[in-house]
Homo-oligomer: A and B are copies of this chain.
Amino acid sequence: MQIIITGGAGFLGQRLAKAFTDGNFDFKSLQLVDQVMPANPANDHRIECRQADLTEDGVIKTILKPDTSLLFHLAAVVSSHAERDFDLGWKVNLDLTRQLLEACRHHNPSIRFVFASSLAVYGGLLPETVGDTTALTPLSSYGSQKAMGELLVNDYSRKKFVDGRVLRLPTVCIRPGRPNQAASSFVSSIIREPLNGEEALCPVSPELALWLSSPDTVIQNIIHGALLDASAFGAWRSVNLPGLRVTVKDMLDALGKVAGRNTLDKIQFKPDPAINNIVSSWPGRIDNDPALKLGFQADRLFEDFIRQYLQSYQSRP
């Protein structure tokens, strides 16, 4: 079994590769592909790191191997970036997804194609609890592109051109490193920066409700989604991965509890309408039941997110 991860240099791509190594999964090779050279996140000779622009003609063909059986398509132009650079967003988030599906269809239609979608497919007037039957009316180009990618993966799966799985990710935090161009980047920043003794700006109100997953949980769920039998999904391949509803205020209360009230002094509220427009259009609560029934896991407390971050990135020997 050969595995491919697009967006392999990214936070989730790296964590996913590491999980495959740590979990003693039986695979022959795992290819991390990205525009920038991915690091090898584990001392595992089965991991191949590859710098390539998949949007260039003919490149996709070069990553597919005779025994490729699982492809995680994580590469994306993130939300605020896609909102600012309209053409790039469509090129990567829609066209690349379609080109990968076409390549798999003609290479080997039994490839499991795991597409990372996002809660950003939802938007506008939403019910208090969003569910599988809620219409997708995204109010961002990123959300529109992901919603269209979902339709593509579903139609290719229905036609048996790939064995697709669409996993809608909650906002994942706490991400390590620096802020990125996701509208939700602040969700990690307002915890991570104070923990590291740095200032952070919060562009939204303390009352805003967010729908979150911790990195450990989301990685576990992405792998679970790949390993599930296709029949478990029924006629529609899109699943809302479980999340936890937390307001910004809840997050800061937990931060104070875990790291001391004085860390909160590092956070300044400074409204940013562009970010607010996007993030407040996303749902604050999604029904976890369908995913839990399929065996996906849920986080329980936001304090655990903070402890997970501290364990993973601050107390390493």
Asked if B152 contacts A139 (CB within 8 A), the reply is no
Asked if B159 contacts A154 (CB within 8 A), the reply is no
Q: A135-B135, A159-B141 are in contact. Are A151 and B154 (CB under 8 A)?
A: no
CB distance from A136 to the nearest CB of B (A): 7
Asked if B155 contacts A144 (CB within 8 A), the reply is yes
Asked if B124 contacts A139 (CB within 8 A), the reply is no
Within 8 Å of chain B (Cβ to Cβ): is A148? Answer: yes
Within 8 Å of chain B (Cβ to Cβ): is A28? Answer: no
Asked if B133 contacts A154 (CB within 8 A), the reply is no
Chain B residues within an 8 Å CB radius of A136: 135-136, 151
For chain A, residues 105 to 145, give those with C-beta under 8 angstroms from any C-beta of chain B: 124-125, 127, 132-139, 141, 144
Asked if A134 contacts B137 (CB within 8 A), the reply is no
Asked if B141 contacts A155 (CB within 8 A), the reply is yes
Asked if A148 contacts B137 (CB within 8 A), the reply is no
A138 to B152, CA, bound (A): 11
Chain B residues within an 8 Å CB radius of A138: 151, 155
Residues on A lying within 8 angstroms of B by beta carbon are: 86, 124-125, 127, 132-139, 141, 144, 147-148, 151-152, 154-155, 158-159, 235-236
Q: Top 5 nearest A-B pairs by Cβ distance? A: A144-B155, A148-B148, A144-B151, A137-B236, A133-B135
- 26 contacting pairs across A/B (C-beta < 8 A): A86-B159, A124-B235, A125-B133, A127-B133, A132-B135, A133-B134, A133-B135, A134-B135, A135-B135, A135-B136, A136-B136, A136-B151, A137-B154, A137-B236, A138-B151, A138-B155, A139-B158, A141-B155, A141-B159, A144-B151, A144-B152, A144-B154, A144-B155, A147-B151, A148-B148, A148-B152
